[in-house]
Chains A and B, each alone.
Chain A
Amino acid sequence: MPDLQSQDYVRRSASTLTPPSIRNHEQEVAKLIDVSRCIGCKACQSACMEWNNLRQDIGYFEGSYDNPMDLSPSVWTLMRFTEWEDEQGNLEWLIRKDGCMHCEDPGCLKACPAPGAIVQYANGIVDFVSDNCIGCGYCVKGCPFNIPRVDPVDHKSYKCTLCSDRVGVGLEPACVKACPTGAIMFGTKSDMTDWAGDRIKDLKSRGFENAGLYDPPGVSGTHVMYVLHHADKPSIYAGLPDKPHISYLVGFWKGLIKPVALAGLAFTALAGFLHWITVGPNEVQPEDETEARRLLNAAKEPR
């Protein structure tokens, strides 16, 4: 919300100065998605479209419950359905609500070259400020979860805002409000972690011995967390990364190279300047002209 000052930024893309951050007495929030309680009704998808005024073009049936088939600039959350057989051959239907994970250490923000196009508030929400977005797609390369989508018409990148406009006025995100089974919960990150602990204990007592919380440390934790009944293998849930982290390529590109490259350019220019004031210009001497003239005249003489 660029019009109302939030003054609670903890991170601001492509900025070398500390962003306005005085209103920092705020608890970190989290959305907890309990995959084991999800019935795949897509109410969260509808609520997201409704609150955010998003309407994806109507597509085609692709032989899958996934509808639409992928995230897009106007699809910020999506149920992904997986049929999975466990070791005993039992079929499980895994349904995961996909969308921005709101990483504590956001790869999109790290990669973004436009000052203030991606911000993180003190409550942990990572938000795209479209006014500042230049449409380069670097956030797509930075994201470990393949979430941002750049719109081909307005050249702006979009993703889930965690309903930062609702959370900012004390409401829960629209998907949380709509969920009929309580599979999506919202609150402070510590409350959600505690609640997840109870759920995991319950799941374990019912035979899901690998149940656990998905709050990956590779991105310093996330503000969208999952309770998974098979937390030992997140990737069975439609490719949820097992150990997500910001790509080392991105880390190198946005880390070491930037200062070293600018220093290299400055050094080369400085070396040139020092050469200029010490050795100085290389000028043609009168002897050169004389000698050249002599060769030219010699060539003109008949042989």
Chain B
Amino acid sequence: MTYPDGAIIRYSAASRINHWITGGCFVLLVLSGLSMFHPMLFFLSELFGGGQWTRAVHPWIGVVLLVSYGGLVIQFWRDEMWTRDDLEWSEAISRVLVNEEEGVPEVARFNAGQKFVFWAMALLIPVLFFSGLVIWEVYFSSYTTIEQQRIAVLIHSLAAIAAIIVWIIHVYSGIWIRGAMRAMLHGYATPGWAYRHHRKWFRRLVDTGSRGPVPNVDASARKHP
């Protein structure tokens, strides 16, 4: 994979493929899931070949999503750990929201908002998966009582709505922050973008002579013996 000269590499090709498999699955799950949630959205089931197909395919997409999101967790959990800076950044969220970022604490690879999305999904996706297993009629209905299935379907609906709200926030952030979409699609950002939005991360890359996405560990070891 080649990137333009002087660009900062934001996400590796593997991360991007992993991310878009997850995203694709999520969109399909939202469409098929909502069609079975509200009668006014039942027409969405036609996208999947009708109600029977929608019912049959939805859980399998969910399995792919779980595995795919597991890949994202493995790749990103280190950079998504909550730090004290995130608290300060969160306190300054009202300034961030109006694009006035002077005096807002410098951000490492991910800001607190991104971390919120990451961990919210890391919680909700397993909840959706396991509650989904309970209501996966074809294979698992005989392992639980009907009352347990009622609880599961309620949890599944509530968690799905929460996940969709988190997802809308995630998508809008990608539209709002110019350059974020390019980073997610093609993997790179300009130095100015990295400086503006993830200055702490950018400084680490510069200090260790790395093009990104992660600091050069050998260089930093030499610099701070």
State the A residues within 8 Å of B (CB). Answer: 14-16, 113-115, 132-138, 140-141, 146, 150, 152, 155, 247, 249-250, 252-253, 257-258, 261-262, 264-265, 268-269, 272, 275-276, 279-286, 288-293, 295-296, 299
Contact = CB atoms under 8 A, between A and B. Distances in A.
Contacts of B38: 258, 261-262
B154 to A, nearest CB: 5
Interface of B: 35-40, 42, 45, 50-52, 54-56, 97-99, 135, 137-138, 141, 146-147, 149-151, 153-154, 157-158, 161, 164-165, 168-169, 172, 175-179, 190-197, 202-203, 206-207, 209
B138 A152 contact: yes
B209 to A, nearest CB: 7
Contact of B52 (A155, A258, A268, A299): A155
Contact of A134 (B51, B176, B195): B51
Contacts of B209: 299
A265 B164 contact: yes
Given A289-B191, A295-B202, A135 B153 contact: no
B216 to A, nearest CB: 12
B137 A137 contact: yes
A209 B13 CA distance: 79
B192 A279 contact: no
17 contacts: A115-B42, A133-B51, A136-B36, A247-B147, A257-B157, A265-B165, A265-B168, A268-B169, A276-B172, A282-B176, A282-B177, A284-B193, A289-B192, A292-B192, A293-B191, A296-B191, A299-B207
B78 to A, nearest CB: 24
Contact of B172 (A137, A152, A275, A280): A275
Given A113-B42, A261-B157, 12 more contacts: A134-B54, A136-B137, A141-B135, A155-B138, A253-B150, A268-B168, A276-B172, A279-B176, A280-B99, A281-B176, A292-B194, A295-B203
Contact of B168 (A150, A269, A276, A283): A269
Nearest to B207: A299
A247 B42 contact: no
Contact of A247 (B150, B169, B206): B150
A248 to B, nearest CB: 9
Given A269-B168, A285-B192, A135 B42 contact: no
